[in-house]
Amino acid sequence: NDVAQYQLNPQSGQLNQLGPNVQADLGPAGIAVDPLDHFVYVANSGANDVSVFNIDPASGMLGSMGTVPAGTNPAAITADPSGNFLFVGNGGSDDLYTYNTNSPTGGLPQLNNSYNTGGLNRFAVEVIEVAITFLPRFAYVANGSSNDVSAYTINVSTGKLTSLGPNAAAGNFPYAIAADPLGRFAYVVNAGDGSVSA
């Protein structure tokens, strides 16, 4: 239930531990770093919340700033590349929460947006992973129980998500998703059959 801190050596690639681990909440399952290097966010699946840490700019050490509520069993967590929004996938409540992160205090006011990601299968969908591409902004959610992927556009001013239509088919129990840095392709790992969908 804690977070380890390391310094990365860019020449050798080695990791050097910065200090003692910092305490998160029960069952940390996902982590995201603010693109502006101010904060770290940890989704705590066992506590149904998100821990917020500030990053000391000189040492890189984390300082706890408390927690904010999430849905049931949050696991997937991704920061928008703009540094304005945080997206949290809640596997137990089958939905996706959005938060405004554009705050010098690290506060995470939840936007009045909660998205059920499964379409017709929404009551059986488990949100596992969220991937964010660069401009224009899109979010993709791997839905483990319905074997498909939801796609959304992101309003860069408000963080609001708009569905792009019917979900795309994936393999058996898609578990994680990643987009290439240029935003051209997405890849999904399917835990149920050991395959990758592209």
Cα–Cα distance list, 86 to 26, 93, 158 (Å): 20, 18, 12
Tell me how many degrees the CA angle 97-52-104 measures, rounded to the nearest 5: 95
Q: Which of 14-28, 50-64, 105-119 has the lowest mean pLDDT?
A: 105-119
Distance CA 18, CA 5 (A): 5
Is 187 in a helix, a strand, or coil? strand
CB of 137 closer than 8 Å to CB of 150: no
pLDDT at 195: 96
- The residue among 51, 141, 138 whose CA lies nearest residue 95 is 141
CB of 22 closer than 8 Å to CB of 42: no
pTM recorded for the entire structure: 0.83
Distance CA 166, CA 4 (A): 40
The stretch 83-107 carries a mean pLDDT of 79
Distance CA 24, CA 39 (A): 14
Q: In the structure, what pLDDT confidence band is assigned to residue 116 with cuts at 50, 70 and 90?
A: low
pLDDT at 121: 32
pLDDT at 17: 93
* DSSP assigned state of 119: G
